[in-house]
Amino acid sequence: MCNINLTVVVVIYNKNFFESSTLTSLLRQNFGREQGECNLVLNLFDNSSDPCISEDELRLLKNMFSVNYKHDNRNLPLSEIYSSQFKDVINGHYILILDDDTDLPCNFIANFFNDAIKNLLEPNIVFLPKVNVSGNLISPYKSYFVFSRPINSYTSGRARGLSAINSGIIIKKSELLDSFSYPMYSSFYGTDTVLFDYFNKNNYNFWVMDLFLEHDLSFHPSSDKKIYLSSLSKVINFWVDHYSKSNFKSMLLRVYIFLLSLKLSLKYKEFINLFKYFK
pLDDT at 81 (0 to 100): 97
Query: pLDDT truncated to tens, each residue of the chain (279 aa)?
Result: 578 999 999 999 999 999 999 999 999 998 765 556 789 999 999 999 999 999 999 999 999 999 999 999 999 999 999 999 999 999 999 999 999 999 999 999 999 999 999 999 999 999 999 999 988 999 999 999 999 999 999 999 999 999 999 999 999 999 999 999 999 999 889 999 999 999 999 999 999 999 999 998 766 666 688 888 988 999 999 999 999 999 999 999 999 999 999 999 999 999 999 998 886
pLDDT at 228 (0 to 100): 87
DSSP E strand stretches across the chain: 2-12, 36-46, 66-71, 94-98, 102-103, 125-133, 136-139, 141-144, 147-150, 157-159, 170-172, 205-215
SS3 3: strand
pLDDT at 2 (0 to 100): 72
Which of 54, 55, 113, 126 shows the shortest CA–CA distance to 86? 126
Q: Name the percent of the chain lying above pLDDT 70.
A: 95
Which of 206, 190, 193, 174 shows the shortest CA–CA distance to 86? 174
pLDDT at 224 (0 to 100): 80
pLDDT at 140 (0 to 100): 97
- Find the radius of gyration of the CA atoms of the chain: 19
Cα 160 from Cα 142, distance rounded (Å): 10
| Pairing of the two strands 157-159 and 205-215 | antiparallel
